[in-house]
Chain A
Amino acid sequence: MLRISGLSHRYPNGMLALCDVDLDVRPGELLVVLGGNGCGKTTLLRCITRALAPTTGRVWLNDSPISQLAGEKLRRARLDLAMISQQANLVRRRSVLANVACGTLGRHRSWWTALGRLPRHELAAAHGHLRQVGLAHLATRRAGTLSGGQAQRAAIARALAQRPLAMLADEPVASLDPEAAEDIMRLLRRLAHDDGLAVLCVLHQVELAFSYADRVVGMRDGRVAFDRDRAELSRDTVQRLYLAAAA
């Protein structure tokens, strides 16, 4: 389980982007975070992965206190916490297969992986992950030649190659057409429900949240405005969240 307790982050310019956020994401659950621009959604994900150091608060992934770790221990912990972003962020000149297999690097510390080589068995496993996201036929293609939707699925395959316990997704469908967006959301739901991952997904598309989320968290001014199961959530509540953000 991904557990966040009292998480706050203040940027060097003094802006308080996150304020005392408490959140749990259970295994097998797809949790969607909604909120207007600048409400702290991305900062939340960056603090969880420790791309940003939280000012106060703690993050645990099962028993591992991610917010307290540093160096090699943090690198090892990151292996259990996959992250996908709005852009797929693949290495454009490498093959799709190599990009996916790169998700396993955290498990290997041999000198030859430091020299740009990838273990043969991880390449075979990467093939399996590509099959899982429906991209096996593009394994040898250069990542730079993929369409937006294909690249995003390859990024998910790379995340799966990490064999994570939790997956964070920062607006993974923002740059995709509606059909590709539905595709990605279906995939994330499947990973949560079938593979038991704890999935925390930041979205701007309210309709997708209502269609796919198990639980929805609304954020405003760096705080959690509501945290409800999808079935209990009304559209009015969500609308009020965005109206308040616009005001």
Chain B
Amino acid sequence: MSAGIGVRGWCVAVAAALRTIGVVVAVMVVVQSLIVVQARPQDLVTGFHGMVDIIRRATPPDFSRLPDVAWPALETFDIAIFGTVAGVCMALPLAVLAAGNVTPSRWLYYASRATIGFTRAVPDLVWALFFVTAVGLGPFPGGLALAVHSIGMLGRLFAETIENMDMAPIDALSLTGASRAQVFSHGVVPSVLPSLLGIGLYRLDENIRSSLVLGFVGAGGIGFQLLTAMNLFQYREVSLLLIVIFVIVFATERLSAICRQRLA
């Protein structure tokens, strides 16, 4: 009995020691991050006047520039639409090949997984620079960048959705004598379509935000306008652009949330 208590005592002591080590390691990770990013909170206090000055110069927003902002805003929205739709179209077949439960071949499975992994690993900003070099400045390279990056993000989520679906109805359809294509279109597609649409809408929401940043590298849209206004110290125009961006992002987010709720 005493030996049993002794073993239990050791276990408790080891667990306590591991917990302490865990806490120390977590604190060290946070501290090293503060050192690496050269965190200087006092600079925020001394720089406060500069921030106030910028805010003062940015108010009131220059609403007279609103007609000039409408087109870049539409461009931003359309870059995201193009990127999402093209991304979905390319991600869907890749996801089918990359889903272990429906893929027709192991080679295609690995090839599509690799493609999805690569397109996801390269950031959309890098894709934008790549396509700006290829097709020049403007919204088109932005749309292409979002499309290619979306393949990676959507492909992975689509494939996981297909892999996680209930296979029993699919197997039941196979046993009726339906062909592979029929089983796919009558069983797999209706089972996963609402989830895929939900993921697509979520991606549209993310692409709207990404398309704003892409403008900074010359890929068109309201981001490009924002960069230009900042470079020219047109802070009142900057504040107007920020309001427009907020409205676009908020409206898309709400719309996407409502649609996803209805699909659920």
Residues of A near any B CB (own CB < 8 A): 49, 51, 75-79, 82-83, 85, 87, 89-94, 98, 102-103, 105-109, 113-116, 118, 155, 158, 162
A78 to B182, CA, bound (A): 15
Of A93, A106, A116, the residue contacting B177 (CB under 8 A) is A106
Contact B176 A158 (CB under 8 A): yes
Of B176, B181, B189, B193, the residue contacting A102 (CB under 8 A) is B176
Residues of B near any A CB (own CB < 8 A): 168-169, 171-173, 175-179, 181-182, 185-187, 189-191, 193-194
- Known A-B contacts A87-B168, A105-B186, A116-B186; A92 and B175 likewise in contact (beta carbons under 8 Å): no
Q: Which residue of B lies closest to A107 (CB)?
A: B177
Contact A106 B178 (CB under 8 A): yes
Name the A residues within 8 Å of B168 (CB-CB). Answer: 85, 87, 89
Name the A residues within 8 Å of B175 (CB-CB). Answer: 49, 51, 78, 83
Contact A75 B171 (CB under 8 A): no
Q: Which residue of A lies closest to B178 (CB)?
A: A105
Contact B172 A94 (CB under 8 A): no
Contact B182 A113 (CB under 8 A): yes
Name the B residues within 8 Å of A108 (CB-CB). Answer: 182
CB distance from A81 to the nearest CB of B (A): 8
Name the A residues within 8 Å of B173 (CB-CB). Answer: 91, 102, 105
Name the A residues within 8 Å of B186 (CB-CB). Answer: 91, 94, 98, 102, 105, 116, 118
CB distance from A48 to the nearest CB of B (A): 10
Name the B residues within 8 Å of A89 (CB-CB). Answer: 168-169, 171-172
A93 to B165, CA, bound (A): 12
Of B169, B171, B179, B181, the residue contacting A92 (CB under 8 A) is B169
Of B176, B189, B193, the residue contacting A106 (CB under 8 A) is B176
- Known A-B contacts A87-B168, A114-B185; A93 and B190 likewise in contact (beta carbons under 8 Å): yes
Q: Which residue of B lies closest to A85 (CB)?
A: B172
CB distance from B164 to the nearest CB of A (A): 14
Of A49, A103, A116, the residue contacting B185 (CB under 8 A) is A116
CB distance from A95 to the nearest CB of B (A): 10
A107 to B171, CA, bound (A): 18
Counting chain A CB atoms within 10 Å of each CB, which of B171, B173, B177, B187 scores highest? B177
CB distance from A54 to the nearest CB of B (A): 16
CB distance from A200 to the nearest CB of B (A): 14
A114 to B187, CA, bound (A): 11
Contact A114 B181 (CB under 8 A): yes
Contact B185 A79 (CB under 8 A): no
Contact A83 B182 (CB under 8 A): no
Name the B residues within 8 Å of A116 (CB-CB). Answer: 185-186, 189-190
- Known A-B contacts A93-B190, A93-B191; A78 and B171 likewise in contact (beta carbons under 8 Å): no
Q: Which residue of A lies closest to B193 (CB)?
A: A93
Contact A103 B187 (CB under 8 A): no
Q: Which residue of B lies closest to A72 (CB)?
A: B179
Q: Which residue of B lies closest to A158 (CB)?
A: B176
Name the B residues within 8 Å of A106 (CB-CB). Answer: 176-178
A184 to B177, CA, bound (A): 24
- Known A-B contacts A92-B191, A116-B186; A83 and B172 likewise in contact (beta carbons under 8 Å): yes
Q: Which residue of B lies closest to A74 (CB)?
A: B177
A91 to B194, CA, bound (A): 13
Contact B182 A79 (CB under 8 A): no
Contact A51 B171 (CB under 8 A): yes
- Known A-B contacts A114-B181, A114-B185, A115-B185; A93 and B176 likewise in contact (beta carbons under 8 Å): no
Name the A residues within 8 Å of B176 (CB-CB). Answer: 78-79, 82, 102-103, 105-106, 158, 162
- Known A-B contacts A115-B185, A116-B185; A90 and B179 likewise in contact (beta carbons under 8 Å): no
Contact A91 B190 (CB under 8 A): yes
Q: Which residue of A lies closest to B168 (CB)?
A: A89
Contact B177 A75 (CB under 8 A): yes
Contact A93 B194 (CB under 8 A): yes
Contact B179 A105 (CB under 8 A): yes
A107 to B194, CA, bound (A): 28
The 6 closest A-B pairs by CB, nearest first: A106-B177, A105-B178, A114-B181, A89-B172, A79-B177, A116-B185
Contact A105 B172 (CB under 8 A): no
CB distance from A114 to the nearest CB of B (A): 4
CB distance from A148 to the nearest CB of B (A): 14
Other than the given A91-B169, A114-B181, 7 more pairs (CB < 8 A) read: A83-B172, A85-B172, A87-B168, A93-B191, A105-B177, A108-B182, A158-B176
What are 16 A-to-B residue pairs whose CB atoms are below 8 Å?
A49-B175, A78-B177, A79-B176, A83-B175, A87-B168, A89-B171, A91-B187, A91-B190, A92-B169, A93-B191, A93-B193, A102-B187, A105-B178, A106-B177, A107-B177, A162-B176
